[in-house]
Amino acid sequence: MNSTRNLIAYQTIVRKEVTRMLRVWTQTLLPPIVTMTLYFVVFGKFIGSQVASIDGFSYMQFIVPGLVMMSVVMNAFMHTVSSFYFAKFQKTLEEILVSPTPYWVVIAGYVTGGVVRSLLTGSLVLGVALFFTRIHFAHWPAVFLFALLAAILFSLFGLINAVFAKSFDGVFIIPNFVLTPLTYLGGVFYSIELLPAFWQSVSLWNPMVYIIDGFRYGILGVADTDIVLAFGILVSFVCAAFLFTWWLFRTGKGLRT
């Protein structure tokens, strides 16, 4: 009976999240597609035509995995942080917290919503990329695993941000001042092997390097880092983020006053 009840609770949260996303698709799905199309045109066509090939691939082909992963990361984060914060702001979250629904079910429901939106957006961006260049998928399992784990991880980060956010401004602090710099410095537009030795060492402390590198390996078959190490780091971050999120729910920090 408990398993059935938990499944119904999970499905209800997921349905609410997906319905909310599709209802305002012009705000959730369309802007990332337009933004990434501009990236492909400006960086891929105009600037990329003047840039030498990297690892045997044209510059346009090289930046496709990074731009797709940028879309996945940003949309996973923004979905959960905005949805969960509004649930706090409108006091609807209290109805969930006082119910017998386990915290892990609540977390899984919101995270699944973020994963659905981010992977859908990433797929649409990848489809747009096919209009600009030819893409050969070298390792499908790596494409799926790194995209899925990245979506889960940043959906969890979005929940954590929403728990601590005290105002609408707090919702956008992390995306603007943390995620965007880490993403741009994570190898989206360049190979870290092109950097001086010192900056290569610094880049290896950026988790986005491993996420983008793993996804690029799945699509192009080339990588700047060890893929097994990248996968292990990503799995470790996912586990740590989930446990920390569950602890926040369990202790009520940022959720109960």
- How many CB atoms are located within 10 Å of the residue 199 CB? 12
Instruction: Please give the Cα distance from 8 to 13 (Å, whole number).
Output: 9
Instruction: Please give the Cα distance from 192 to 186 (Å, whole number).
Output: 8
Share of the chain above pLDDT 90, in %: 51
pLDDT at residue 256 is higher than 70: no
pLDDT in tens, 206-220: 999 999 999 999 999
pLDDT in tens, 226-246: 999 999 999 999 999 999 999
DSSP letter (8 states) at residue 194 = G
- How many CB atoms are located within 10 Å of the residue 28 CB? 19
pLDDT in tens, 111-126: 999 999 999 999 999 9
Cut 0.85: pTM above it: yes
Lowest-confidence segment of 21-35, 87-101, 111-125, 154-168 by average pLDDT:
87-101
CB 64 within 8 A of CB 45: no
